[in-house]
Amino acid sequence: MSKKYQNIKQYENMILELKSQGSTHREIGEKLGLRYIQVKKCVERYNKRQRMIKAGKELHKRGHPSTKEGELPPSIQRLTNLTQIYIIL
């Protein structure tokens, strides 16, 4: 029987600790009540983040990119240009 949904990030430190002690993904999953694939993917994501940090690459955040301070999105810039044209006429 599976557990209620919980974010895997809560378990990341425990997973990495057990992995450093030599436990397999399957053993870690059984101890924490997770599936093998969840543990495997968690370790893969952690390793990828570490490789990106080591290479000096910027980590991408989820969601829409934020606009630079003071700069309007292109759709609003077009509207501003249209309103300026109507004001001139």
**CA atoms of 25 and 40, how far apart (whole Å):** 6
pLDDT class of 38 with cuts at 50, 70, 90: very high
| Closest alpha carbon to 8 in 36, 34, 44 | 34
Domain count within the chain: 1
pLDDT tens, position by position, 41-86:
999 999 999 998 898 887 777 766 665 666 666 666 666 666 666 6
Q: What is the pLDDT of residue 66?
A: 62
Residue 80 lies in a domain: no
* Domain presence at residue 72: no
Residue 46: inside a domain: yes
Domain that holds residue 44: 1-58
pTM higher than 0.75 for the full model? no
